[in-house]
Amino acid sequence: MRVIICDDHKVFAHALAGVLASLGHEIVLVATRPDEAVAAALQERVDLVVMDLGFPTGDGLGATAELSRYPSHPPVFVLTARTDPEVLSAAIRAGAAGVLTKQSELGQVIGALERVATGETYFDVQLLRRAFVPEPRQVSEAHRIAQYLTDREREVLERIVRGESTRSMSAAMDISVTTLRSHIHAVLSKLSVHSRLEAAAWAVSHGIVDPPSAPDRHA
C-alpha cells in the first residue's frame, strides 16, 4: 500500500514509516503538518493517510473532515495518543475510517492500517464504548429507528460493523457494487450518520449490533 503519515512527532512518524517500508509498503510522504498531508493525498495515488490529531499548527480533525469531502479520497486512519471520548468521537464524525491509540501494540496497529487501506473500517471496541455513551432515551430512540431498516439494510449494517469492504460485502450478498452502495446510502441516511465507521459506532454503542469478538476488535 502507498501511505502518507502525518505526525509532528518525527521519531514516532519515521519509526512507523520504517516498519511499514520493511513490510513492503511504500511511504509517499512523512508530513509534519496536516495541510501538507491533504495536499499530497489529493495529488498522489495514495491508499491510506495516517493522521495524528494534535499539531502546533494545523488541525488533524479538520484535515480528516476536509479529505472526507472528496468522493475519491483515500481513507484516513486516526492514530493518536489522545484517549478522551470527545476527541475520539469527533474523529469518527469527521470521517475517519479507522481510529486507534498510539499505546496499542505494534502488530495491532499494522494490521489495522492494512485492513483500512483495503477498504475495511477499524475501531477498538473499548475506545468506541468510551467515546459513545448514549443516554437511555437515546438508546430507545435508536432501537425505534433500527426497526425501519429493511432486512437487507440490517444485513449491510451488520457487515459494516464487522468492517467488511465494499467488494467483500457485494460478493457475500451476491449483489452488484452499485446496489450495495444504494443500501449503504439508505442505512447512513436512516441513522443520520455520515460514514461507515460512524454507522458502526452508532450500532454498537446503542446495542443494535454486537461488536466483533476479541481479539479482532475491528469494525
Chain segment 160-217, per-residue pLDDT in tens: 999 899 999 999 999 999 999 999 999 999 999 988 989 998 998 899 998 876 444 4
Residue 18, pLDDT > 60, answer yes
Chain segment 78-94, per-residue pLDDT in tens: 998 887 878 888 888 89
Whether residue 193 contacts residue 161, with contact meaning beta carbons closer than 8 Å, is answered with no
Question: What mean pLDDT comes out for the span 155-160?
Answer: 96
pLDDT on residue 213: 65
Domains assigned to the chain: 2-118 (3.40.50.2300), 134-205 (1.10.10.10)
CA–CA distance, 69 with 174 (Å, rounded to integer): 29
Task: For the chain, give the mean pLDDT.
Answer: 91
pLDDT on residue 124: 80
Supply 21's cell numbers.
517500508
Question: What mean pLDDT comes out for the span 98-113?
Answer: 93
Question: What mean pLDDT comes out for the span 1-10?
Answer: 96
Chain segment 33-68, per-residue pLDDT in tens: 999 999 999 999 999 999 999 888 788 999 999 999
pTM: predicted TM-score of the whole model, two decimal places: 0.83
CA–CA distance, 127 with 143 (Å, rounded to integer): 22
Q: What percent of the chain has pLDDT over 70?
A: 96
